[in-house]
Amino acid sequence: MEQAIHSRVKPIQLKGEHHSNIFCLAFNSGNTKVFSGGNDEQVILHDVESSETLDVFAHEDAVYGLSVSPVNDNIFASSSDDGRVLIWDIRESPHGEPFCLANYPSAFHSVMFNPVEPRLLATANSKEGVGLWDIRKPQSSLLRYGGNLSLQSAMSVRFNSNGTQLLALRRRLPPVLYDIHSRLPVFQFDNQGYFNSCTMKSCCFAGDRDQYILSGSDDFNLYMWRIPADPEAGGIGRVVNGAFMVLKGHRSIVNQVRFNPHTYMICSSGVEKIIKIWSPYKQPGCTGDLDGRIEDDSRCLYTHEEYSSLVLNSGSGLSHDYTFTAWCNSHLRKAGTQIENIEEDFRDGLKLMLLLEVISGERLAKPERGKMRVHKISNVNKALDFIASKGVKLVSIGAEEIVDGNAKMTLGMIWTIILRFAIQDISVEETSAKEGLLLWCQRKTAPYKNVNIQNFHISWKDGLGFCALIHRHRPELIDYGKLRKDDPLTNLNTAFDVAEKYLDIPKMLDAEDIVGTARPDEKAIMTYVSSFYHAFSGAQKAETAANRICKVLAVNQENEQLMEDYEKLASDLLEWIRRTIPWLENRAPENTMQAMQQKLEDFRDYRRLHKPPKVQEKCQLEINFNTLQTKLRLSNRPAFMPSEGRMVSDINNAWGCLEQAEKGYEEWLLNEIRRLERLDHLAEKFRQKASIHEAWTDGKEAMLQQKDYETATLSEIKALLKKHEAFESDLAAHQDRVEQIAAIAQELNELDYYDSPSVNARCQKICDQWDNLGALTQKRREALERTEKLLETIDQLYLEYAKRAAPFNNWMEGAMEDLQDTFIVHTIEEIQKPKKCKSCPPLKREGSAFDGRRRPWPLVNALCLDTLTTLGVIEGGKEAMLQQKDYETATLSEIKALLKKHEAFESDLAAHQDRVEQIAAIAQELK
């Protein structure tokens, strides 16, 4: 800025060029990039250092406002004439679909990010006024400001540096200040002379604490107000009357204003296409002051009143009567009348009032029908009062001059009417009246060769400008390619004839007068061109209306299509839910894990493949419903009511039932799989235990049924008993396994195992076999014990026999010895007297066979002989028998049998003690 102000450096021209007016600019935080938007329906992103174009973001209509996010230079917002506020990310493709924050039927003129809370944005809409938006809640504003007057035409909105207040400009209303949390104004600012009606303007805060506000005005001045510190200031309506400062110096309407907080400078610009810099400090090489005294007087601009004065004081005004008459007749013929002489036919005021009613579309006061002068003056005064009520000041024009037929006054009055009703309301982009009409002509004729409209006089002399205007709007009426610049009369007459014949624009100019005049009359040209503007703007309005109707019809068709799509989508979704819920509620169990795994896989496929598209359909259904309701609300149409049972709530309820059934089905599947896993585990466990048990019992019945004990000795019997006891212990140990097998079979039955019959049959077989084993075991034990007892009895008898046989054997041996001994007798009686054997025990008499007289000596002797023989044989193997080590390999029972046998041998040995002693005694006697 310092270089621009003091060094007068040449501005840098960026390479990216718009095709029409530029309406808005925005810089990023580092001032390295600049965004520009305008009437050519695009935003261009420029690089400041290289001047290159970085990107272009196409819009559907003119762009009026831009704002860059204060926290992210890649994000910017745009507001446009199509009624949308869009959020763009320059990192993404410019051809992609941006985020739509707002979509209204009316244009958005301004948008700004909150400098502290960037998720909030403020907007100014041409019909909906000022609004506050949250990016997280698009399509619906958080707050609409203005109190009871929220439906206002707003053109500019700005946050203060803290983001706590909003400053807004509204058409035909003073600037207004809002707290962002309240829709009611904090203050309104006004001053005598301030007016905002003609052009699009901006506003801004100023000062180191944002304690001032700035706004341009239609009266060519820049106004500054101080924001009161007292929130109750301003009185009724909180209107701050009286500006803190009025900056004068512009020569036309002031539109744009900005405050630089670093240099405390103000920049302003307007219709005159000059930027003015205002500083609180005197700047070297600069001129001007607060009173607007400037040295540049190269051109003068006039107000409406000054134009009227010029007409009254200019002798050339009388030359306008032809044009003005034609212009008046173009309107009066709509009422079925016309004028011939402009200064005479308006004298009674009747046609003047009728003209005003036709061009304004309003009813004036009832005219006086009398012929007297007072009646005419009254009618003319009514017409002049009506003109004054439209904001037009009539300088030096009175009813008496019109009644008296004063040509200057009459022409001045007609020119004032033309300016007010035909030219003033012309508004093109940010210009109005004459400059707006000139800009409209420039825009319409820009594509045409040899046409350069710079004014309302010499630029029209060759007639190509008129032909270009007609061709631009009705190309079928004129063959523009055949026109020549060097034939102005043909061009002018062609344009005038075509306009009168096809466009209903009366011929207000004479071709010869225009060609033959060095400088054609500006007012006549303006009047005639304004007729083109209204004719084409009317057609354009009709076309716009038709387009709007088409758009409305298209919107209605789109809404109807959305309704049909909603109904179909809702019906299909509900039908799918209706078919799916019974499948999810089917709890028929499967017998195998494989079948249940297949069901689980089907359920996963449902979750992974079938349900997600339906979730998207449901979301799209809700989006379509909300979008449709929003469109209907914005179009003032009644809300859409789906058919019965297809409301969003019905779909949500059905979806809730689906979710509940799905949850229950999933839980059932998992429980069933766990149950089948448990069953498979139990069945496998049953099979393993049963197989082990069956392998163990294999051959046991045959073993228990053996009768090996019948031929066994006592020691073998005892060994078999020990072995049987071991088997019984093993059998008892297997009792738990049998019980476990039975318990598993019982559990499989309780869990409804599909192969329960085979399990039960096997279990029953095992139990029956077990019972049989128990019975056989008991039976074998009894047999073994009985055999053992029998053999023990026999063994005991044998021992008793051995014990009893030893003394008898000794006696027998003695008897044998006695029988073998040689008797020495001295008498026959000794021979006849039987000698008692010392070895024979006394015999008891147990019957008549054994008495003292009859003794069985022969038998005794035989027995003794046999015993001796036996003892001799036995004695021959005693030492070998005692030296045997058969006990080393004997079992416990065999050891016990050997001990008993040894005891018998010891008894026998003791019985032979006497014999040894006798042998020793005989040997001694023999010596």
Lowest-confidence segment of 158-162, 270-274, 356-360 by average pLDDT: 270-274
The answer to whether the CB of 191 falls within 8 A of the CB of 213 is: no
CATH 3.90.1640.20 describes domain 315-424 = no
The pLDDT of residue 149 is above 80:
no
**Secondary structure of 220-287 in the HEC alphabet?**
CCEEEEECCCCCCCCCHHHEEECCCEEEECCCCCEEEEEEECCCCEEEEEECCCCEEEECCCCCCCCC
Mode of pairing for the β-strands spanning 165-170 and 154-159: antiparallel
Coil, helix or strand for 203?
Answer: strand
The pLDDT of residue 570 is above 50:
yes
Coil, helix or strand for 47?
Answer: strand
At residue 815, what is the residue type? A
Q: Extract the tokens encoding 519.
A: 């400088």
The rounded distance, in Å, linking the Cα atoms of 444 and 446 is 6
Residue 168, C-beta contacts closer than 8 angstroms, at least 6 positions apart: 124, 129, 130, 145, 154, 156, 157, 158, 175, 176, 177, 178, 203
More confident residue, 754 or 90: 90
Q: Extract the tokens encoding 789.
A: 């007892």
Residue 533, pLDDT score: 85
Average pLDDT rounded to a whole number, residues 596-622 = 87
The pLDDT of residue 374 is above 90:
no
Lowest-confidence segment of 168-182, 338-352, 436-450, 810-824 by average pLDDT: 810-824
Residue 822, pLDDT score: 56
Q: What residue spans of 424-521 are helical by DSSP H?
A: 433-445, 464-473, 488-502, 511-516
At residue 104, what is the residue type? Y
**Secondary structure of 137-177 in the HEC alphabet?**
CCCCCCEECCHHHCCCCEEEEEECCCCCEEEEEECCEEEEE
Residue 825, pLDDT score: 58
For residue 434, the Cα-to-chain-centroid distance in whole angstroms is 54
Q: Which residue has the tokens 């400008």?
A: 465
The rounded distance, in Å, linking the Cα atoms of 570 and 559 is 16
The rounded distance, in Å, linking the Cα atoms of 220 and 196 is 11
How many H-runs (helices) and E-runs (strands) does the chain carry?
Answer: 24, 26
Q: Extract the tokens encoding 452.
A: 């350069």
Residue 302, pLDDT score: 47
Query: Between the CA of residue 477 and those of 47, 469, 483, 530, 814, what are the distances in Å?
Result: 46, 11, 13, 20, 181
> Is the backbone of residue 391 left (phi > 0), alpha (psi -120 to 50) or beta?
left
Identify the helix (H) or strand (E) that includes residue 58: strand 53-58
Instruction: Give the pLDDT confidence of 831-849 residue by residue, as tens digits.
Output: 565 555 454 455 444 444 4
| Reported confidence tier of residue 317, pLDDT bands at 50, 70, 90 | very low
Buried b (16+ CB within 10 A) or exposed e, 881-890: eeeeeeeeee
Is 699-804 the same fold as 556-678?
A: yes
Average pLDDT rounded to a whole number, residues 855-862 = 48
Query: C-alpha angle with apex 226: 225 to 230, nearest 5 degrees?
Result: 135
The pLDDT of residue 863 is above 50:
no
At residue 517, what is the residue type? T
The rounded distance, in Å, linking the Cα atoms of 227 and 175 is 12
Q: Extract the tokens encoding 147.
A: 């109190």
Query: Between the CA of residue 75 and those of 28, 95, 242, what are the distances in Å?
Result: 9, 15, 40
Residue 219, pLDDT score: 85
At residue 811, what is the residue type? W
Percent of residues, the chain, with pLDDT higher than 70: 85
Identify the helix (H) or strand (E) that includes residue 651: helix 648-697
The answer to whether the CB of 62 falls within 8 A of the CB of 23 is: yes
The rounded distance, in Å, linking the Cα atoms of 327 and 329 is 5
| Reported confidence tier of residue 491, pLDDT bands at 50, 70, 90 | very high
CATH for 556-678 is 1.20.58.60
Count CB-CB contacts under 10 A for residue 834: 8
| Reported confidence tier of residue 395, pLDDT bands at 50, 70, 90 | low
**Secondary structure of 668-720 in the HEC alphabet?**
HHHHHHHHHHHHHHHHHHHHHHHHHHHHHHCCHHHHHCCCHHHHCCHHHHHHH
Q: Can you state the percent helix, strand and coil of the chain, rounding each to 5?
A: 50, 15, 35
Q: Extract the tokens encoding 718.
A: 């005892």
Q: Which residue has the tokens 């983001």?
A: 163
Residue 875, pLDDT score: 53
More confident residue, 806 or 403: 403
The rounded distance, in Å, linking the Cα atoms of 126 and 155 is 6
More confident residue, 397 or 613: 613
The answer to whether the CB of 646 falls within 8 A of the CB of 563 is: no
Coil, helix or strand for 114?
Answer: coil
Q: Extract the tokens encoding 621.
A: 């259904």
For residue 667, the Cα-to-chain-centroid distance in whole angstroms is 27
- Where in the chain are the domains? 315-424, 556-678, 699-804
Residue 844, pLDDT score: 46
Residue 46, pLDDT score: 94
For residue 606, the Cα-to-chain-centroid distance in whole angstroms is 21
The answer to whether the CB of 114 falls within 8 A of the CB of 120 is: yes
Average pLDDT rounded to a whole number, residues 477-488 = 90
Residue 115, pLDDT score: 95
Residue 760, C-beta contacts closer than 8 angstroms, at least 6 positions apart: 745, 749
The answer to whether the CB of 432 falls within 8 A of the CB of 457 is: no
Residue 839, pLDDT score: 47
Identify the helix (H) or strand (E) that includes residue 63: strand 63-68
The answer to whether the CB of 213 falls within 8 A of the CB of 225 is: yes
Residue 535, C-beta contacts closer than 8 angstroms, at least 6 positions apart: 499, 503, 504, 505
Average pLDDT rounded to a whole number, residues 606-621 = 88
First to last CA, the chain: 172
At residue 150, what is the residue type? S
The pLDDT of residue 774 is above 50:
yes
- Bridge-partner residues for 241, per DSSP? 190
CATH for 699-804 is 1.20.58.60
Count CB-CB contacts under 10 A for residue 219: 17
Query: C-alpha angle with apex 177: 27 to 36, nearest 5 degrees?
Result: 20
More confident residue, 148 or 448: 448
Residue 876, C-beta contacts closer than 8 angstroms, at least 6 positions apart: none
Q: Extract the tokens encoding 459.
A: 């630029």
The answer to whether the CB of 133 falls within 8 A of the CB of 148 is: no
CB half-sphere exposure, 127, CA atoms < 13 A? 9
| Reported confidence tier of residue 53, pLDDT bands at 50, 70, 90 | very high
The pLDDT of residue 889 is above 70:
yes
How is residue 5 annotated by DSSP? I
Edge-to-edge, what's the strand order for the sheet holding 84-89?
63-68, 75-80, 84-89, 99-103
More confident residue, 765 or 913: 765
Q: Which of 577, 554, 574, 569 is closest to 625 using CA atoms?
A: 569
More confident residue, 581 or 396: 581
The pLDDT of residue 911 is above 80:
no
At residue 885, what is the residue type? K
Average pLDDT rounded to a whole number, residues 253-273 = 88
Buried b (16+ CB within 10 A) or exposed e, 47-72: eeeeeeeebebebeebbbbbbbbbee
- Return mean pLDDT, the chain: 82
More confident residue, 872 or 528: 528
